[in-house]
């Protein structure tokens, strides 16, 4: 058995997969893609992952891409310490959470992230270089083109993103109320919990924790997650942008 994870230490999608690997007690090898030289858009990496993003999982030569697909794959192939409900209806409800987290907070967190940490770094690019950079990111091209080079996203785009993140907290608070906790699916910790943790940690790192100051059930849930070994092992020194950049 061999698991090799191509990832960034500070990528939220990579962190999501690392947490699941640690929670399940699976041994794996880290290959940290060098983002400074845009290694994720290099010819060799695009052969593995044509989307040009991280993470990518190599399991004995089988290549699995997309972080949510990877965590579901891991839980199917390695059923020990399962993070998926046995009941089909409950599994469907878990996947409902996964799809929601992919659709709403996952793209939204990129906006304040780029505004605070990456936009200014891109100011040094000429217009031609910036266009080339955008074109070299197969699934992120329009994201780069929608951002003003060197400035980031405008106030409207930023507020829309933060509002979607705020909606996520409200949805989770409601879900925890209905499930009775302590986890999103009730008594069982599942992939649904780990799917969103890295995004929330990034929000905290960006100074957006005030969004959930009134959501007690959510705060208690997040505190429980932070006490788990998988969380502590995933967020080692320099994995947060405020430490790294």
Task: State pLDDT tens for residues 18-63.
Answer: 999 999 999 999 999 998 888 999 999 999 999 999 999 999 999 9
Helices (H), 43-109: 43-48, 67-77, 88-103, 105-108
Residue 65: strand pairing partners: 56
Mean pLDDT, residues 89-104 taken together: 98
* 155-179 helix and 191-205 helix, angle to the nearest 10 degrees: 140
Residue 1 CA: distances (Å) to CA of 27, 32, 63: 9, 20, 14
CB 67 within 8 A of CB 17: yes
CB 235 within 8 A of CB 6: no
Mean pLDDT, residues 112-122 taken together: 89
Q: Which pLDDT band, with edges at 50, 70 and 90, does 1 fall under?
A: low
Share of the chain above pLDDT 90, in %: 81
pTM of the entire structure? 0.94
Sequence-distant (≥ 6) Cβ neighbours of residue 92 within 8 angstroms:
none
Residue 148: strand pairing partners: 152
Cα 96 from Cα 244, distance rounded (Å): 33
Cα 174 from Cα 78, distance rounded (Å): 31
- Kindly provide the b/e burial profile for residues 25-56, where b requires at least 16 CB atoms within 10 angstroms of the residue's own CB: eeebeeeebeeeeebbbeeebeeebeebbbbb
Domain architecture of the chain: domains with CATH: 3-77 (3.40.30.10), 88-229 (1.20.1050.10)
CB 125 within 8 A of CB 136: no
Q: Which pLDDT band, with edges at 50, 70 and 90, does 119 fall under?
A: confident
Sequence-distant (≥ 6) Cβ neighbours of residue 137 within 8 angstroms:
41, 52, 53, 143, 144
- Residue 65 phi/psi, 5-degree rounding, is -125, 165
pLDDT in tens, 149-172: 888 999 999 999 999 999 999 999
């Amino acid at each position: 058995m061999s698991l090799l994870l191509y990832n960034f230490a500070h990528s939220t999608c990579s962190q999501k997969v690392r947490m699941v690997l640690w929670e399940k007690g699976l041994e794996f090898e880290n290959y940290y893609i060098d983002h400074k030289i845009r290694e994720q858009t290099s010819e060799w990496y695009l052969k593995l992952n044509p989307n040009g993003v991280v993470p990518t999982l190599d399991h004995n030569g089988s290549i699995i891409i997309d972080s949510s697909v990877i965590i579901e794959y891991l839980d199917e192939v390695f059923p020990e310490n399962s993070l998926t409900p046995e009941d089909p209806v409950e599994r469907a409800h878990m996947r409902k959470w996964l799809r929601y987290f992919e659709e709403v907070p996952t793209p939204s967190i990129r906006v304040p992230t780029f505004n605070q940490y990456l936009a200014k770094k891109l100011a040094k690019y000429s217009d031609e270089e910036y266009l080339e950079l955008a074109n070299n990111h197969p699934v992120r091209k329009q994201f780069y083109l929608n951002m003003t080079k060197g400035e980031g996203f405008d106030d409207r785009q930023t507020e829309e993103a933060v509002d979607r993140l705020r909606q996520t907290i409200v949805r989770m608070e409601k879900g925890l109320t209905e499930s009775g906790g302590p986890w999103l699916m009730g008594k069982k910790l599942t992939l649904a919990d780990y799917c969103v943790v890295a995004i929330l940690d990034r929000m905290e790192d960006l100074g957006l924790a005030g969004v959930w100051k009134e959501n007690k059930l959510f705060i208690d849930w997040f505190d429980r997650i932070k006490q788990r070994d998988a969380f502590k092992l995933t967020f080692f020194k320099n994995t947060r942008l405020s430490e790294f950049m």
